[in-house]
Structure 1
Amino acid sequence: MEDEKGKKVCDDEVVDNIVSQVVAGYESTSNAIMSPLALHKLREENDAVSRDKNGGFISLDDIPSMKYTAKVVEETIRVANVAPMVHRVAHRDVQYRGNYIKQSLLYDSVLVLLPLL
């Protein structure tokens, strides 16, 4: 697998990212169901779009018309960044931009998510 710049991404990094997103999602889900009015409005909008498609699945083409859903997603990202910190382990000694990272060193990197909706 390659990143957006064509650089090879190792399997460990792909698995790490998937696990981080799956495990981190539990808190935002529980917070979302604590707001029944917002959940009701969200379901209404999603159901209406699905009805317009004769019960079909919502697709990426439908997203621009789903204004309330877009705002809920923006607010969720703003309030609860699900993965604010990523833990990494250096698998080999690396020198990068004048910095030396020793093999097996555990370090934390801050993840910044910017909603683009």
Structure 2
Amino acid sequence: MANIAAVTDAEFEAQVLKSDKPVLVDFWAEWCGPCRQVAPILDEINAEHGEKITLLKMNVDENPVTPSSYRVTGIPTINVYQGGEVVKSIVGAKPKAALLKELADFI
């Protein structure tokens, strides 16, 4: 996930909830195999659609507060935030075509 910036609990409100455009947050962890599978797909989506939607990643081990407050119990969980609210939640690794279909309203 080299191309996607990380967000922390401390930055979450400013970078995600107060953003003018939709923000996709990938909740992940180093030890999560499916998270590593979805990472290059999100890099591609970021490269193709980054002007319309902001992509960020949050390590759930390093930032326990935000995932807990949004009831993220399984990873990878991808939440899309718009206007300070969760407008889409995608749980589990999915192929690129499935992710693009789920994100069609935002990209």
- Which TM class, normalised by the smaller chain length? under 0.3
Report the TM-score when normalising by structure 2: 0.25
Higher helix share: 1
Alignment TM-score, normalising by the size of structure 1: 0.23
Larger radius of gyration: 1
The structure richer in strand per residue is 2
Tell me: higher relative CO, structure 1 or 2? Use CA pairs within 8 A at least 6 residues apart.
Answer: 2
